[in-house]
Amino acid sequence: MAGVIVELFPRRSWDFGQLAPTGVVRFALVHALPVADFSEASLQLRSHGHTMSSGQSIRLRAFTAAPYPETPQTLFWASATALADISLTSVIAAPTLLLAPLPNNFGGHLYLDLTATMGSSTVALSATLSAQLVLKRRRWQ
């Protein structure tokens, strides 16, 4: 089965030290990635190194999206439940590779985001990360 690897972002340092306690910040990585030709997908998040304390986290998530051609500026995505969710926390040692497979029937497009949560701690939250989405094509009978 042929596949495709989508680089969500190459190795990059993220510094969330300016977040207030209990602060949350979300970065939209991809608004509507076309995936209709694929039947399997898996998120991959690499932590090359990170500094965080209990209650802090960095999450990589995938959601079903459905853009509408007449209003491409409007984002239609199923925000209630992530199809895949990777959570990097203080108990996970770096370097590490975290994986999350997407379920079957994940839709025609994906919305992907990265979210950092400061928690109640005032300890700096930073990480050097890279991420990919691995897609496998449908097998036609």
Whole-number pLDDT of residue 1: 55
> Cα 90–64–99 angle (5° rounding)?
35
Provide mean pLDDT across the span 108-128: 92
Question: If residue 13 lies in a helix (H) or strand (E), which one and from where to where?
Answer: strand 3-15
In the chain, % of residues over pLDDT 90: 74
Please tell me the least confidently modeled range out of 38-47, 52-61, 118-127.
Answer: 118-127
Q: Is 118 left (phi over 0), alpha (psi -120 to 50) or beta?
A: alpha
Q: Using CA atoms, how far apart are residues 107 and 35, in angstroms rounded to an integer?
A: 7
- Secondary-structure breakdown of the chain: helix, strand, coil percentages, each rounded to the nearest 5: 0, 55, 45
Whole-number pLDDT of residue 133: 97
Contacts 24+ apart (CB under 8 A), 76-83: 77/111, 78/107, 83/110
pTM for this entry: 0.91
Q: Using CA atoms, how far apart are residues 128 and 12, in angstroms rounded to an integer?
A: 5
Q: For the chain, which domains are there?
A: 3-137 (2.60.120)
Nearest to 81 by CA among 64, 98, 95: 64
Tokens describing residue 53: 């304390």
